[in-house]
Structure 1
Amino acid sequence: MSIDNLPPLKHVIDTHGLAAKKSLGQNFLLDLNLTAKIARLSGRNEDHDVLEIGPGPGGLTRGLLSEGARRVLAIEKDERCLSALAEISDAYPDRLTVISGDALDINPLDHLTSPIRVAANLPYNIGTELLVRWLTPTEWPPFWDSLTLMFQREVAQRITAEPGSKAYGRLAILSQWRTDAKIVMNLPPEAFSPPPKVSSAVVHLTALPEPRFPADAAMLQHVTATAFNQRRKMLRSSLKSLSPDIEDHLHAAGIKPTERAEQISVEGFCALARSLKNT
């Protein structure tokens, strides 16, 4: 079934020779009904610009545009996809801008008008790095109102995990510190071409007006990365490289030095980051 007057995605892929490249982390979602549903999960976008990373043959791009997004900025590294995306641009005049390049190297704010949302089936090989960048700008609120992102299901569970669980770690803390994060959709491998070896999930993150607890973003990221790099160790051991007085900082944050990283709440890590930042 089609959501517009453009060809089915399988036809687009065949016509433009767009076999997915593993080196680019590509797995294309071909069901346009699913891409339209993901677009709707991102919110009503008639008054928003939407940033999309890795549009590939344009399934989600078409979903966003057909569902009424004011404008879509699509950043695509694979030059093979540009001709297919140009056809979408022609079908939705003045509403789609395509930039060829690496999303890690491009500042999208040069091409977007607020308010802005992000919606993307992120390439597996850069998805986590992009998310961390979006969650840890020096100033908050960020440029985006919400993120609607597809990940491997394991990554989605890490974003929404609670303290004490095996999935709980740096991603959960950074996400839940500044956003409301929830899994809004699950997709099986067979929904994609080629089918990945794992299931996928869509996570919706809504930016909070203020972080839940005060902390310096860079310090919080450093503390959590260090703590969970040796998550089986007690914090007094895993964090000793951060300060010769680490036990004093842990006590100041209300944390027992014998506890392990997965036992500490977002509030606890923020308190520890504040203590270390003030030394």
Structure 2
Amino acid sequence: MTAGQASRDPDRLLDRAGVSGNPDRDQHFLVDERVLDRLPTHLPADADRSHVLEIGGGTGALTDRLLATSDRVTVVERDPDLAAFLRDEFAAAIADDRLTVIEGDALEVDLPDATASISNLPYGVSSEITFRLLPLGIPTVLMFQREFAERMAAEPDTAEYGRLSVSAQHYAEVEVVETVPPTAFSPPPAVDSAIVRTTPRDPDYKVEDEEFFLRFVKAVFTQRRKTLRNAVRNTVHISGIEDPDAVVDAAGEALMSKRAGELAPDEFAALASLAAEGDGRSDG
């Protein structure tokens, strides 16, 4: 398919594929043509569209739009029947070497060297897939449950701000660019959805040990209602810190009196670096 041709009708794709969606298998097909048409436009204007990765191709309604706006597309689809349908429906694009269909679980297969990702993610594994994509350092446009999307983009000292916010914003600028009602899907999910754009960035802080940083953030947010003093001391089984009292003493009273939800990502980075450098923790 080339840019400018009419897009495939999502309802007719469902009919041709002989599927209707199954909430028990986390299958909610995006069928609103206006939303489908807008999804590729949410990439940053200067994004490299030469090779776009789509997770969860379904019946190809979004794949069709991506082929119209990108040079090459790779689709990962775990359902064998849908993967076979995509290969048949888009045989011409495959023959032209513009489309590759990978049958398999997006959490297990080798992901290609894509330049961007635009995907309507399976909500049940959206977090795990997101944190496979973000470290790749490519811009993404991803569909999530609205609550998840708002937590990804949340600012410090808000109810939504948490481990997800800090971890996602460590890799990228995160923006909720559009909310999407249940009626845009077949079958409609029980929740509103939202489209999130992530734009890779180098954080304005330095993390020597990224694995420990993310583990430390996870640890203290398990006790987000407690002061950092208590959270650091109570979560050594997660963080791996060997001498939490030394970290508390070194960080100082002003910082340790705060709660996790009050710290910006750069403050987490400083505290994690202090912990990593100063207490002789184990890496296990």
- Establish whether TM, by shorter chain, passes 0.5: yes
Residue of structure 1 equivalent to 2:17: 16
Q: Where do 1:51-70 residues align within 5 Å?
A: 51-67=53-69, 69-70=70-71
Q: Where do 1:51-130 residues align within 5 Å?
A: 51-67=53-69, 69-92=70-93, 93-109=96-112, 112=113, 116-130=115-129
Unaligned ranges ≥5, structure 2: none
2:153 matches 1:160: yes
Q: Where do 1:246-265 residues align within 5 Å?
A: 246-250=244-248, 252-253=250-251, 256-265=255-264
Give, in whole Å, the separation in 1 of the partners of 2:100 and 2:132.
22
Residue of structure 2 equivalent to 1:214: 206
List per-residue Cα deviations over 1:132-152 (Å, max 9, x = no partner).
Answer: 2333x4xxxx3x420111100
Q: 1:5: how far off? A: 5.0
More displaced stretch, 238-247 vs 122-131: 238-247
What is the DSSP-based 3-state SS (H/G/I as helix, E as strand, rest coil) of the residue aligned with 2:255? coil
Q: 1:251 to 1:178 in 2, by over 3 A?
A: farther
Judging by fraction of residues, say which structure has more helix: 2
Q: TM-score, normalised by structure 1?
A: 0.87
Q: Where do 1:262-273 residues align within 5 Å?
A: 262-273=261-272
Q: 1:46: how far off? A: 6.9
Give, in whole Å, the separation in 2 of the partners of 1:251 and 1:213.
22
Q: 1:214: how far off? A: 1.0
Residue of structure 1 equivalent to 2:181: 188
Structure 1 contact 71–96 (Cα < 8 Å) conserved: yes
RMSD: 2.1
More displaced stretch, 249-258 vs 184-193: 249-258
Segments ≥4 residues shifted beyond 6 Å? none
List per-residue Cα deviations over 1:182-206 (Å, max 9, x = no partner).
Answer: 1111101111111111111111111
Aligned partner letter, 1:105 = E
Give, in whole Å, the separation in 1 of the partners of 2:156 and 2:8.
46
Residue of structure 2 equivalent to 1:38: 39
What is the DSSP-based 3-state SS (H/G/I as helix, E as strand, rest coil) of the residue aligned with 2:175? strand
What is the DSSP-based 3-state SS (H/G/I as helix, E as strand, rest coil) of the residue aligned with 1:256? helix
Q: 1:90 to 1:5 in 2, by over 3 A?
A: farther
Q: 1:181 to 1:46 in 2, by over 3 A?
A: closer
Q: 1:33: how far off? A: 3.0
Give, in whole Å, the separation in 1 of the partners of 2:20 and 2:267.
47
Q: 1:83: how far off? A: 3.5
Unaligned ranges ≥5, structure 1: none
More displaced stretch, 249-258 vs 28-37: 249-258
More displaced stretch, 181-190 vs 254-263: 254-263
More displaced stretch, 228-237 vs 49-58: 228-237
Give, in whole Å, the separation in 2 of the partners of 1:53 and 1:220.
27
Give, in whole Å, the separation in 2 of the partners of 1:43 and 1:244.
43
Count of aligned pairs? 265
% same residue: 34
Q: 1:88: how far off? A: 4.1
What is the DSSP-based 3-state SS (H/G/I as helix, E as strand, rest coil) of the residue aligned with 2:124? coil
